[in-house]
A and B are shown apart, each in its own frame.
Chain A
């Protein structure tokens, strides 16, 4: 099983749609999880952390299911500017900042 796995997409959705991305991780001891966003030919940027209780930031909701080793990102009311690749990221257990990146899920929001 790969350390971090994501559906590569692409997800093509109309403006205003709700879209959800999923991610699984292999190490049950993992403690810290994040979503990064990467625009085409640009550098990745932190979108949000994922907390055990679930967390929301505006139109974005992140959830963690430790039993299933599963992380999700929900985007409501999609905007054209949400078009990007979304990277699921796990902090390697016992490391100092050693992040494991998924391959990313590509989202394209159409007018």
Chain B
């Protein structure tokens, strides 16, 4: 099992460009999450999907959109990137019975210039 995979691993964008971060899990988990982690800050939840077909805003959703494509895949889109979105982005998943035990992907390091 690969667990949670994320692509790309690294990305550099110019201000105003758009991109989609991809996440997939092979653990048959119902719930999936997107976080960002900035230096000196804890991980902050951007969006989550409790189950296929549903998505909800987290703590810092502005500037992002998400799509729960199917049970396995949950993508994060930046429509018009800003330097403030420079961060490390982590995707995670969990099963319904143990929502707190979240399995994280390796992260995407995004720089917006």
Contacts and interface: CB of A to CB of B under 8 A. Distances in A.
Interface of A: 4, 32, 34, 42-46, 49, 87, 89, 91, 96-104
Tell me the interface secondary structure of chain B in the complex: loop
Interface of B: 31, 33, 40-45, 48, 50, 58, 90, 94, 99-102, 104-107
A43 B33 CA distance: 13
8 contacts: A42-B107, A43-B105, A46-B101, A97-B50, A97-B99, A97-B102, A98-B58, A104-B42
Given A97-B100, A97-B102, 11 more contacts: A43-B104, A44-B90, A45-B104, A46-B100, A91-B99, A97-B33, A97-B48, A98-B58, A99-B45, A101-B43, A102-B42
Contacts of B40: 103
Contact of A96 (B41, B90, B99): B99
A102 to B, nearest CB: 5
Contacts of A104: 42
B72 to A, nearest CB: 17
Contacts of A98: 45, 48, 58
Contacts of B58: 98
Contacts of A100: 42
Q: Which of B41, B44, B101 has the most CB of A within 10 A?
A: B101
Contact of A101 (B31, B42, B101): B42
A81 B43 CA distance: 23
Q: Which 10 A-B pairs have the closest CB atoms?
A: A97-B99, A43-B104, A101-B42, A101-B43, A103-B42, A96-B50, A46-B101, A97-B31, A102-B42, A91-B100
Contacts of A91: 99-100
Given A96-B99, A97-B48, A97-B94, A44 B104 contact: yes
